[in-house]
Amino acid sequence: MTPDSPAPARRSRPKPGERRLQILQTLAGMLQEPGGERVTTAALAARIQVSEAALYRHFASKAQMFEGLIEFIEATVFGLINQIGTQDGDGLRQLRAIVLMLTGFAEKNPGMTRVLIGDALVTEHDRLQQRINQLHDRIETSMRQCFRLAVAQQRLPPDTDAAARAGIVMAFVQGRWLSYAKSGFRRRPTDLVEQQIPLLIG
């Protein structure tokens, strides 16, 4: 090296927030790999090329890592549901947009789909599955509100059972998520959804 040659660039160490994000992105990526094996902290650390101890400097446990993924899902999904409600006041159009958003979110985020159906949480802490159950309940509540709004707008008959109808739509979305994950992410959750939505919401 000559006196005038530049010094080799030092590899900058990721900031704490960046490392947390890297851990979560890597975990989500590993969840969408073929086979659907259980992700261990050892495998996760090896993928990022850090020690397991380094992982635990950012997350107290693997359960906390999964909670980070669930928080991302919650923030994204309910942020979009709120946006849909703000942009369109029609109950049935809101419902259609929510179904398209939920199936589209899964298609773009295969690893998150395994979290949404609980498949990735089978061997993890029970509280994680409880939190996913609550997330499903909140989505169904949003659907129920759309049906009630459609009734109030006289888009549906006054005797429409909003709870029963919302349950059917939610089961449809869950089925799409499940089929996508169990097919090794080959059966796209958005396939034929546009044609099926009128059959679901009337």
Quickly state the pLDDT bin for 153 (edges 50, 70, 90). Answer: very high
Q: What is the mean pLDDT of residues 31-60?
A: 89
- Token pair listed for 15: 């900031």
Structural domain that includes position 136: 62-201
In-domain check, residue 98:
yes
Place of tokens 């509100």: 145
Which pLDDT does position 53 carry in this prediction? 93
pLDDT of residue 2 exceeding 70, the answer is: no
In-domain check, residue 78:
yes
pLDDT tens-digit readout, 50-81: 999 999 999 999 999 999 999 999 999 999 99
Question: Is 201 within 8 Å of 96 (Cβ atoms)?
Answer: yes
Could you give the percent of the chain with pLDDT greater than 70? 91
pLDDT tens-digit readout, 156-173: 999 999 999 999 999 999
Number of structural domains the chain divides into: 1
Question: Is 141 within 8 Å of 148 (Cβ atoms)?
Answer: no
pLDDT of residue 140 exceeding 80, the answer is: yes
Which pLDDT does position 13 carry in this prediction? 59
In-domain check, residue 77:
yes
Which pLDDT does position 202 carry in this prediction? 75
CATH number at residue 170: 1.10.357.10
Question: Is 71 within 8 Å of 131 (Cβ atoms)?
Answer: no
In-domain check, residue 34:
no
Which pLDDT does position 6 carry in this prediction? 46
H-helix segments, 4-125: 16-31, 41-48, 52-56, 62-87, 91-108, 110-116
Which pLDDT does position 4 carry in this prediction? 47
pLDDT of residue 141 exceeding 50, the answer is: yes
Lowest-confidence range among 23-37, 79-93, 171-185?
Answer: 23-37
Mean pLDDT of the chain: 91
The total of other beta-carbon atoms located within 10 Å of residue 149's CB is 19
In-domain check, residue 57:
no
- pTM above threshold 0.75: yes
In-domain check, residue 41:
no
Give dist(CA 35, CA 54) in Å, integer: 27
pLDDT of residue 1 exceeding 70, the answer is: no
In-domain check, residue 194:
yes
In-domain check, residue 47:
no
pLDDT of residue 10 exceeding 60, the answer is: no
Give dist(CA 177, CA 193) in Å, integer: 12
Nearest-10 Cα torsion for 74, 70, 50, 16: 40
Quickly state the pLDDT bin for 15 (edges 50, 70, 90). Answer: low
Give dist(CA 146, CA 201) in Å, integer: 10
Give dist(CA 54, CA 142) in Å, integer: 40
Judge residue 98's burial from the number of C-beta atoms within 10 Å of its C-beta, 0-12 exposed, 13-18 middle, 19 or more buried. Answer: buried
pLDDT of residue 99 exceeding 80, the answer is: yes
Which pLDDT does position 14 carry in this prediction? 59
